[in-house]
Amino acid sequence: MFSTPTHLYYYCYILNMKILSTTTINAPNQSLGDSTTDRKIHLNPWDLQFLPFGANQTAGLLYKHPLEKIDTIIHQLKCSLSSTLAFFPLLAGRLEITEHENDNTISCYLKCNNAGVLFVHAVEKNVAVADILRSTCPPQFIQSLFPLNGIKNYEGTSQPLLAVQVTELIDGIFLALTINHVVIDGKPTWNFINSWAEISKLNGCLQISKQPKPTLERWFPNAIQLPIRFPFTIEKNHADNDGKEKLNPPERLFHFTKEKIMELKSKANIEAESNNISSLQALLTHIWRSVVLSRGFDPQEEVQFMIVIDTRSRFFPPLPEDYFGNAIILSGVSMKVGELLKEGGLGKGAQEMNKMIASHTNEKLKNHYESWLKTPSFISLGSVANSNSLVVSSSPRFNVYECDFGWGKPLRVRSGDSNKRNGKISVYPGAEEGSVDIEVCLPYEILEAMENDPEFMGVVSN
């Protein structure tokens, strides 16, 4: 079920952290009657676009210290993780990349070979729950609480597709995951975590009642030849990223209550003479306006807001609710600075954002998919880094605060540094119902200017 690895590595950044153990967790030999050993899962453009991107580190959960002994907790987490992998065998597998010399292309697929998941048990006795909970500027030691730092997704041929780190704090536990983004996006990530939590709470019971059972096969149009072949050179992507990735950018956390968000939504719809603008669109536009104002752009300059759009419900027929893969694309809305910042700009910006998202119909998404097959493109920090753009990811709709492993709900969720750059915004549900927490990565002077923006801070509730 699990064993001590000899080939996996891990490193951290603070000298007073101690790694107590590293273990490889495997799925049970029999995956609930479904033979998954050596099962091959072909990948589609939504998956393949993330090959040069960093692994996902959006799931760091902070808990109060459980009453049970830590050795009991670690054993329970390892056993329940093994049981959960029976439903999610992809996470215990590896990527397989094949070079085709006849046309200088490669192909990539997921092999469910049960190579295993990395599980790290660490202790950091100089950090308390309050050090994480109360800070609006995430302390740099947060990154050392995540496993497999610096890993790119294409390294999933030899590196684990999922790594877990459980770190003992003075008075709590920090449970963090690093997941290969070629395998899944945010929605199935939280489906997996909640499924693991449910099995853990039920002491390893091999059933999932609250979360949908995952659909592992990818979506492909009819008559597409598999595997998909495409040009991709690891050396080129290394060169493209050199000097463009800003490590550990300054970061600030902003909390917005349900009441303040509803006020923004109402104001945006009134200004736009609409009732279609969502609360999230109004909130993101509010942040966009403050960042643009703080940067001091020329009114005629054009700025862009990039949004990760979930495609699952936008197809006809829609993809399965439990689709366990990537089903997202990155798209943007552009406006001139003067138009965004003028009176009524909140409504105008939110309306443009709403129109852009609504334009992603079944036909447009299929055209985008087919276009990728003709001209493959890949997401990297270098490809989206632009001083005139913001990029938002994650979602306040993810089921974060129901992740009860048997010792209560989490106090907060935090993310690691992977894929963070100046202009990156991460959105999470807040601990209180209807509230939202937003992580913003920007230069210090821009964050300071935002904190001195009375219109912006009038909505912030830190």
Which residues, 6 or more positions from 280, have their beta carbon under 8 angstroms from its beta carbon? 396, 427, 436
**Is 272:347 a contact under the CB 8 Å cutoff?**
yes
Phi, psi of 202 (to 5 degrees): -90, 20
- Total Cβ atoms within 10 A of residue 353: 24
How crowded is the C-beta side of 60, counted as CA atoms within 13 Å?
Answer: 22
Could you identify the residue written with the tokens 């002994």? Answer: 69
Question: Measuring CA to CA, how many Å separate 160 from each of 10, 36, 114, 152, 156?
Answer: 12, 17, 10, 11, 6
Phi, psi of 307 (to 5 degrees): -130, 135
CA distance 331 to 379: 12
CB burial string 272-296: b at 16+ within 10 A, e below = beeeebbbbbbbbbbbbbbbbbbbe
Catalytic hit among 131, 240, 322, 404? 404
Alpha helices in 163-310 (DSSP H): 186-201, 234-241, 258-272, 279-295
CB 408 within 8 A of CB 68: no
Catalytic residue (choose from 47, 181, 185, 437): 181
- State the number of CA atoms in the 13 A half-sphere of 424 facing the CB: 26
The tokens describing 30, both together, are 């029999």
Task: Say how many C-beta atoms besides its own lie within 10 A of residue 380's C-beta.
Answer: 21
Q: Which of 108, 120, 169, 172 is nearest to 12 (CA)?
A: 120
Q: For the chain, what is the total number of helices (H) and then of strands (E)?
A: 13, 16
The Cα–Cα gap between 94 and 414 comes to 26
What distance in Å separates the CA atoms of residue 224 and residue 48, rounded to the nearest whole number? 15
- Nearest residue to 110 via CA among 89, 98, 96: 96
Catalytic site residue 34? no
CA-CA distance, 220 to 319, in Å (whole number)? 11
Q: CA angle, corner 426, sides to 133 and 213, nearest 5? A: 95
- SS3 track for 274-286: CCCCCHHHHHHHH
Q: Give yes or no: 100 in active site.
A: no
Which residues are catalytically annotated? 181, 404
